[in-house]
Amino acid sequence: MKVLLTGGAGYIGSHVANNLVDAGHKVHIIDNLITGNKVLIPKGADFTNCNIDDSKKIESLLTNNQFDILMHFAGFIQVEESVNFPEKYLDNNTTKAIKLFKLCKKNNLTKIIFSSTASVYGSGNNTNLISEENLLNPQNPYAFSKMKTEEFLKENEDSYKFIILRYFNVAGADKLLRAGQISKRSTHLIKILSEIAVGKRNFIEVYGNDYNTHDGTAIRDYIHVSDLADIHIEIAKYLLMHSNSQILNCGYGKGYSVLDVINEANKICNNSIKYKFTKRRKGDVEKLISNTNKIQKLINWEPKYDDLNTIIKSSIMWERKLNDKIL
């Protein structure tokens, strides 16, 4: 399998790229390194430094290679930033993505795996587990931009064969510590807790303790990034063998509140994690937990790291590596 992979110097893209290379597949990464980091690119992958709307460079790649699949990870992902700069997110995550898809189609690359988000569901329409058939109700421009890109693919299903993967909360790091989260401004809960664990921060702000949950804090479904990477390999195999497009949730179907996660981190860190409550952030939702029946039936995938403690420990180990400047 030969894969064109955008955003391969980013968190999720680099894990998928590593798994592809490990499995003997050929990978060509496109990344502009604005939010990505070159140290995350696997040694066995080819790399082009460019934007996803650089038609000249990408068309040259498409002309000179016979790619089987496009895996599209590149995009802006900060919810709070998207609220302040919605046009930036719609331009990059939707307009430029569609331009890339059209260029790929022009060059006969029509199989696409699109990195989307569970945020498109909003608050889940008050259901316990969210299935792919739930109504979409994005609560922030980041989620809206992903939904609009999904809409393009669904409206052009005659032209593309695609898998849309709606990620729930991705966390953790590669067990060999080849990849993990590198961020100038961390916003993900477990990443921030890992920074506290290695002394980079003193405390974490918990946004809202007045949600209608068991402890008043928001609930999320966390999936280890390495399990998510495995999903992409199996989904790519499926896409090459089948002609029908799919939309799939990626999670474990378990919900943990912010305080649940902090308490678990404190078990690892001898109660060194300090926190304080502050008001809710605009655009945040109360609860997101996945129904994973569809993906479990569709592909041969069993999670290997379905344990909150394991997820947090791997993230802390990666943070220690960053802190020791081993990279």
| Domain match, 158 and 267 both | no
Q: Is residue 286 part of a domain?
A: yes
- Stated pTM of the model: 0.95
Both 21 and 96 in one domain: the answer is yes
Whether residue 178 is contained in a domain is answered as no
Residue ending a domain, among 207, 230, 250, is 250
Q: Does residue 183 fall inside a structural domain? A: no
Do both 147 and 258 map to the same domain? no
Q: Alpha-carbon distance 116 to 249, whole Å? A: 9
Same structural domain, 245 and 287: no
Q: pLDDT (tens digit, 9 = 90+) per residue, 85-143?
A: 999 999 999 999 999 999 999 999 999 999 999 999 987 655 679 999 999 999 899 99
195 and 245 belong to one structural domain: no
Total domains present in the chain? 2
Predicted local confidence at residue 115, as pLDDT: 98
272: domain CATH number is: 3.90.25.10
Task: List, in sequence order, every residue forming a beta bridge with 111; answer none if it has no partner.
Answer: 161
| Inter-CA distances, 80 with 139, 141, 245, 269, 275, Å | 11, 9, 31, 28, 20
Q: Which of 11, 89, 121, 142 is catalytic?
A: 142
Own/partner pairs, 105-108, CB within 8 angstroms, 24+ separation? 105/159, 105/160, 106/59, 107/59, 107/62, 107/63
* Between residues 292 and 281, the one the model is more confident about: 292
CB proximity list for 106: less than 8 A, separation 6 or greater = 59
- DSSP for 79-105? HHHHHH-HHHHHIIIIIHHHHHHHHHH
Q: 146 and 294, same structural domain? A: no
Identify which of 244, 265, 243 has the alpha carbon closest to the alpha carbon of residue 256.
Answer: 265
Residues 18 and 156 in one domain: yes
Q: Are residues 261 and 157 in the same domain?
A: no
Pairwise CA distance, residues 300 & 305, whole Å: 16
211, 231, 250 - which closes a domain: 250
Residues 211, 116 share a domain: no
Q: Which of 115-119, 296-300, 323-327 shows the highest mean pLDDT? A: 115-119
In a domain, 181, yes or no: no
Q: Is the pLDDT of residue 327 over 70?
A: no
Name the residue range of residue 91's domain: 2-172+222-250
Determine the Cα–Cα distance for residues 5 and 198; give it in Å rounded to an integer: 32
Q: Is 142 a catalytic residue?
A: yes
In the prediction, which pLDDT does 128 show?
A: 79
The CATH number linked to 107 is: 3.40.50.720
Same domain, 117 and 89: yes
pLDDT tens digits along 60-97:
999 999 999 999 999 998 888 998 999 999 999 999 99
